[in-house]
Amino acid sequence: MPGLIRGVARTAVVAGTATAVSNRVTRRQQGRWAAQGQYPYDAGPPRAAPYAEPSAPSSPPDMTGKIEQLKQLGELKAQGVLTEAEFEEQKRRVLES
């Protein structure tokens, strides 16, 4: 049973990392297209979202996601699911994204 939990935990960490990387690639591509004046499929520039009254000040979404991933990694390490080396590697990946 512990092997199964460890496998599930690793899968969750990898999936979270993959999502973060995918989002970063998308943002980079959009930035490049905007700088070059090009947009995919000749769709033109992205439209601004309608104005919405902010509910409460919060930290940027990127940082919130990173904090959540780091909390999850810390919990997995505390439970003994991740070794110190695995924890440090995943933490480095989260912080670099």
Query: pLDDT per residue over 36-67, tens digit each?
Result: 766 555 555 566 666 655 555 555 556 788 88
48 vs 71 pLDDT, higher one: 71
- The answer for 59, left when phi > 0, alpha when psi is -120 to 50, beta otherwise, is beta
Global confidence as pTM:
0.38
Long-range contacts, stretch 83-87, CB < 8 angstroms, 24+ apart: 86/10
Total Cβ atoms within 10 A of residue 57: 5
Per the CB < 8 A criterion, the answer to whether 18 and 94 are in contact is: no
